[in-house]
Copies of this chain bind each other. A is one copy, B any other.
Amino acid sequence: MSGEMDKPLISRRLVDSDGSLAEVPNKAPKVGILGSGDFARSLATRLVSSGFSVVVGSRNPKRTAGLFPSAAQVTFQEEAVSSPQVIFVAVFREHYSSLCSLGDQLAGKILVDVSNPTEKEHLQNHQSNAEYLASLFPACTVVKAFNVISAWALQSGPRDGNRQVLICSDQLEAKHTISEMARTMGFTPLDMGSLASAREIEAIPLRLFPSWKVPILLALGLFVCFYAYNFIRDVLHPYVRKHENKFYKMPLSVVNTTLPCVAYVMLSLVYLPGVLAAALQLRRGTKYQRFPDWLDHWLQHRKQIGLLSFFFGMLHALYSFCLPLRRSHRYDLVNLAVKQVLDNKTRLWVEEEVWRMEIYLSMGVLALGTLALLAVTSLPSIANSLNWKEFSFVQVKQISLELQLQLGPGPA
């Protein structure tokens, strides 16, 4: 079927992709596009500049032609789909059925579904767009691809973080053909298996940091609460009681007192669900039963909570290092020295305070160092290179060490 496309396939001209077709007059493989929206236009631009000969099928070619790059041929749908082996379907799901009249011409060809459902559509339809398309055109091979790529990335060429094209299909050869096309266009194809994966692939562009939303809101909530408490204790209380103006502490000192509180609470929230899960398993007497949903979600968000804890810990360190840079710190020191002289005291030294601070600082640095290791091992590329024994060694041992280090001595 797609056998004839396998060998010479595509003349790659990635380097000088200026859109001119002078070099490849006849050999350029033909590709069809159905649709005239933003994505269709960007796709056409990219395909033309990657050396393909593009035919766009439209119900109103005259009106549409102006929107496409001049190198693309815009014609009626029936004509557009007749010669190319690969046809991109860049129309909305609700218009798929309107293409049914093209069924006979499309038979035996590869249809590439590039569509993305809206959040509502995704929840309503249990069948992915690609599977729906496949059910409408049983004589065609449907490949899901390019939906994770933005129209902008298509137009301007692939950039970092936009390089991967997830591809799935039930037919290996068709998948191979589209993978090669993606490569020619400068993307990195990633095989995601059979067409049944389409639903999952279609869900990807919908999400926006799903696993981070709750942990971040939690951290912000904790920050606001602790900040309010510390503001009342360190600034408002002295002002009301002794009329001391310490409002200058708001941007730095109060924030710095708040950060470790948030970091500690977050860190304990990493540890707690494991304990609860173990307790639940002991009470149930089995470990082959599912945890309740809330606990399962909690267990799955431990990494995000831990990384936020590290982030707040880092900020605390940076804020602390800023303390001696403050003008107020300088003034306090000088004033203290002057006061000592005026009071005729020659030596200032409180052994206990010295010891407490030295130990606290030392432990703090060690805690930050181990948290940093924890954060590094959760980078995807590092995590993939560890086996599960190593991964859990770092992630579990570290956290318990963490808690022991930090819950020891407190700051002055």
Q: Which of under 10, 10 to 19, 20 to 34, or 35 or more describes the interface residues of A?
A: 35 or more
Partner of A14, one of B200, B290, B341: B200
Report the 5 A-B pairs with minimum CB-CB distance, sorted nearest first: A161-B383, A381-B381, A337-B337, A324-B324, A251-B362
Q: Are A388 and B150 in contact (CB under 8 A)?
A: yes
Question: In this assembly, does A406 line the interface, its C-beta being within 8 Å of a C-beta of chain B?
Answer: no
**Chain B residues, CB < 8 A from A193:** 179-180, 183-184
**Chain B residues, CB < 8 A from A388:** 148-150, 152-153, 161-162, 205
* A251-B314 Cα distance, complex, nearest whole Å: 21
Q: Which residues of A contact B (CB under 8 A)?
A: 7, 9-12, 14-15, 18-19, 41, 45, 67, 69, 148-150, 152-153, 155-156, 159-164, 170, 179-180, 183-184, 192-194, 196-197, 199-200, 204-205, 207-209, 248-253, 255, 287-288, 290, 299-300, 303, 311, 314-315, 317-328, 330-331, 333-342, 345-351, 353-359, 361-366, 368-369, 372, 377-391, 393, 395, 412
State how many angstroms separate the Cβ of A352 from the closest Cβ of chain B. 9
Partner of A358, one of B318, B328, B339, B377: B328
State how many angstroms separate the Cβ of A234 from the closest Cβ of chain B. 13
**Chain B residues, CB < 8 A from A379:** 379, 381-382
Q: Are A315 and B365 in contact (CB under 8 A)?
A: yes
Q: Are B386 and A196 in contact (CB under 8 A)?
A: no
State how many angstroms separate the Cβ of A95 from the closest Cβ of chain B. 23
State how many angstroms separate the Cβ of A47 from the closest Cβ of chain B. 13
Known contacts A333-B330, A338-B341, A379-B379, A288 near B69 by CB under 8 Å: yes
Partner of A337, one of B252, B338, B358: B338
Q: Are B11 and A196 in contact (CB under 8 A)?
A: yes
* A273-B86 Cα distance, complex, nearest whole Å: 36
Q: Are B163 and A384 in contact (CB under 8 A)?
A: yes
* A252-B360 Cα distance, complex, nearest whole Å: 9
Q: Are B179 and A288 in contact (CB under 8 A)?
A: no
Report the nearest B residue to A38, measured CB to CB: B287
Q: Are A200 and B161 in contact (CB under 8 A)?
A: no
* A328-B390 Cα distance, complex, nearest whole Å: 41
Report the nearest B residue to A255, measured CB to CB: B362
State how many angstroms separate the Cβ of A243 from the closest Cβ of chain B. 15
